[in-house]
Amino acid sequence: MNKFFKWNMLITSFAPLWIAIVFIVAWDVAADYNVLIAEHHASIEVDYGGEVCVNVTEVIIQTLQGNTSQLAFAGAVLFVLLVSTVYILTFVMRMGKSGKGGDVVKIVLARKSTSLVTDFLLFYILPMIAFNFSNLRDILLFLIYFAFIAFLSIRNGNVYTNVLFEFMDYKAYKCDVEKVVMGKVFRYSECTVISKFDLTSNVGHEFTCFDFENTTFLNLEKPKKGASK
């Protein structure tokens, strides 16, 4: 489940890009439709003096046939984004209500993550500049680019730059935490902790979280005073 959670986190973190891609494809399809409508009108005026109506159904079919790959890509993007969004929201709400399955860790050091702008430029702006999503070749190149980004992000736990979590009022922190495992205290450095609470003012407190491979923690409850047992 750890990697599956990170995968869905990664997908939803690209939400601005996915929405932009769907918009670009829809805009291009609408532009192609208008061009075909104009061509049909011009043809009718030449052949019939403008007395015959344009066959709108035929124009729509031609438009769809001319944009099959782009529409398929946009549809797949929208479907995957919706599935990942539902999964993340369901997971957070279910775990937040039950409070079960979490680990207790102690905050040793905490600071706000400062790489949000850099990650945003790299992950969202660069693809918009580098790739033409109305071109099948660029779509394939983007999928290769995204596969490498996904591999590196999931492997290194870099999945916290997430607009969905921002809307839910969660923030990302870089923390050193301590956790008791089989009676021994282990310290984990430079972990990513996603929390609604200001962890920088809760150093020395412990909190219940969901641990994903000791690199990413999701905090759903307010930190409390006390030492880890």
Question: Per-domain residue ranges for the chain?
Answer: 2-98+115-159, 100-113+161-229
- If DSSP states are collapsed to H, E and C, what string results for 33-72? HHHHHHHHHHHHHHHHCCCCCCCHHHHHHHHHHHCHHHHH
For residue 76, name the pLDDT band (cuts at 50, 70, 90): very high
Per the CB < 8 A criterion, the answer to whether 6 and 157 are in contact is yes
What is the C-alpha separation between 189 and 112, in angstroms, rounded? 14
Other C-beta atoms lying within 10 Å of the C-beta of residue 153: 22
Q: Can you give the pLDDT at residue 79?
A: 94
Q: What tens digit of pLDDT does each residue of 97-141 get?
A: 655 556 788 888 888 776 655 666 666 677 777 788 778 888 888
* Cα angle: 110, vertex 114, 116; to 5 degrees: 125
Q: What tens digit of pLDDT does each residue of 21-58 get?
A: 888 888 888 888 887 777 766 665 545 455 555 677 78
What is the C-alpha separation between 124 and 55, in angstroms, rounded? 40
Nearest to 116 by CA among 177, 165, 176, 168: 165
Q: Can you give the pLDDT at residue 80?
A: 92
Residue 69 dihedral angles phi and psi, to the nearest 5°: -65, -40
Angle between helices 56-66 and 68-98 (to 10 degrees): 80
Strand extents, DSSP E, the chain: 103-112, 171-181, 184-195, 206-212, 216-219
